[in-house]
Amino acid sequence: MSSETDRAQVYLVTGGCGFIGEKIVELLSQQDYIKEVRVFDSGAREEEKIIPATTHVTVMKGDIRDYNLLLAAMRGVHVVIHTAAIVDYRNTVPFWEMKAVNVGGTENVLRACCVLNIPYVVYTSSIAAVGPNTLCEPMCRGNEDTKYSGEVELPYGKTKAMAEKLVFEANGKKLNNGGKLTTCIIRANTVYGEKATFLRDLYLFAKARNDVLNYLEPENTERNSTYVGNVAWMHVLAARHLQLRPDLLAGQVYYCYDDTPRKGFLVRHQILSSMDPSIRLGSHIPYWKMWLIIHLHRIIKVLLYPFWKPQPFLNLPLLNTIVTTFSYETDKAFRHFGYKPLFTWQESKQRTAQWLKAAAGNLSCPHLHEKEN
């Protein structure tokens, strides 16, 4: 790749106003080989930002279900980082709508790449696309090559698995100009950091319970969590090396990782108690108790409908996911494109706690799902 091309890179980030997307845009805008970063997001306010380091950030409002709008935004782009998705663990969004965005939107992105001869796509997926499955079989410290099968438990995970299949199949596809499409997949997990709404919700719940933070997962359960800045950095490096070493990265999948501990309840407590020392770690809530509460909630909801429309509540697939060990240990991203976390666990915790402290002043109703498309 010539240095001339290097200086003229145009990147498009779908969902670039979302939790992960925003951080990706921030890091991309600091890279000297990128001329322009375009953001395509349904929640965007159209504006042009000029950021130091001669990188233009152009924000475009649009829904990835709208193929023609997407096509217009993608004209003249070299690389697409596709993060746009409806992220919903609590079944607040109908499955058909989530599928239309997460699967149909991905189909649109790949189709537009072939029409406009855009050769590189990095797709943001999720560990939920792999499992846990409906049998709740654990995966303990696996890696990208670990064989794990069965139907995925979470509806959100099902849509991400379908979209992954499209991205895998599109790798090597012919572009209009005779070139070929090169794709890779990054699987995020429990991502935390500034603007992580689930942490605000947790803080509210703990405050409402005399500063006690109880937890659902058994203490031996393992699950990876990664700081949003490190997830974003992995995307930036993968997108760069997809161009520099296409033969190595093409069709590959990478798990996100950093040095955040694998015990979710301890991670949450450490972050919350860093910003508010009065938050105490409570005790484990037994599975049977939550199972009963979920079923009672469902029965009451049916009986009192339409007079009572409660806030979305925990559901069985989500409870099963929380209590099942699903963890991995890998250095594949380091081996393939030199990824090392930008932020340590201490820094990640501190940055997240600082944001939480600032946000605590205007905490109101919990936001129960994020929509990033």
Residues marked active site are found at 156
Q: Are 137 and 72 in contact (CB under 8 A)?
A: no
Q: Are 222 and 260 in contact (CB under 8 A)?
A: no
Query: Is residue 277 exposed (0-12), middle (13-18) or buried (19+ Cβ within 10 Å)?
Result: exposed
Instruction: Quote the crossing angle between the two packed helices 197-208 and 345-360, to the nearest 10°.
Output: 60
**CA 45 – CA 42 distance, rounded (Å):** 9
**CA 78 – CA 82 distance, rounded (Å):** 13
**Ramachandran assignment for 251, one of left (phi > 0), alpha (psi -120 to 50 degrees), beta (any other):** left
Comparing C-alpha atoms, which of 98, 95, 96 is closest to residue 84? 98
Residue 53 has phi, psi (to 5 degrees) of: 80, 25
Beta-carbon contacts of residue 165 (< 8 Å; ≥ 6 apart): none
**CA 128 – CA 288 distance, rounded (Å):** 23
Comparing C-alpha atoms, which of 181, 188, 144, 151 is closest to residue 15? 188
Strands 85-87 and 370-372, by their bridges, are antiparallel
Looking at the DSSP bridge assignments, the partners of residue 125 are 187
